[in-house]
Amino acid sequence: EEKSCPISAPCESVACPESWHIYRGKYVYVSEKQGSWLMSSDFCSSLNASLVVIDTQKELDILVKNLNSDDYWFGLSKKDQVWKWPNGTEFTNQFPVEGEGACAYINGKGANSTICSVEKRIVQE
């Protein structure tokens, strides 16, 4: 069963998909679904969405504070040793990403990384 994200008030607009919330001007959905980073990215794409992009340390802090302590994939992954967002733009180190993996996730402390085949939950926009 899918569960909506408690980080903001529910969408008030008819245009907002059911069970999604508005967060800093974005529609955000936290899924109970788990999978590898690639499977999670493909799942989001099938819904015309993507794994969430986190623009600032403040946005990361808000997500960490409002999500439970589970691990959640977000849209950052390494390609040729360079962190990139789903749209191909390079990550500009707006916040630290711990670990040596190629795929990034949010945990109860901040952003971390691990191998991409590990199953985690999904935050999508």
Radius of gyration of the chain from its Cα atoms, rounded to whole angstroms: 14
64 found inside a domain: yes
Structure tokens at 8: 């903001």
| Residue 51 domain boundaries | 20-124
pTM: 0.81
Cβ proximity of 90 and 84 under 8 Å: yes
59 found inside a domain: yes
pLDDT digit string (tens) for 30-87? 888 899 999 999 988 888 888 999 989 998 998 888 888 889 999 999 989 999 998 8
- Return all residues near 52 (Cβ < 8 A) that are at least 6 apart: 26, 28, 63, 74, 75, 123, 124, 125
What CATH number corresponds to the domain at position 33?
Answer: 3.10.100.10
69 found inside a domain: yes
9 found inside a domain: no
Structure tokens at 42: 């493909």
Task: Give the count of domains, the chain.
Answer: 1
33 found inside a domain: yes
CA 71, 72, 76, 81: dihedral to nearest 10 degrees?
30
34 found inside a domain: yes
92 found inside a domain: yes
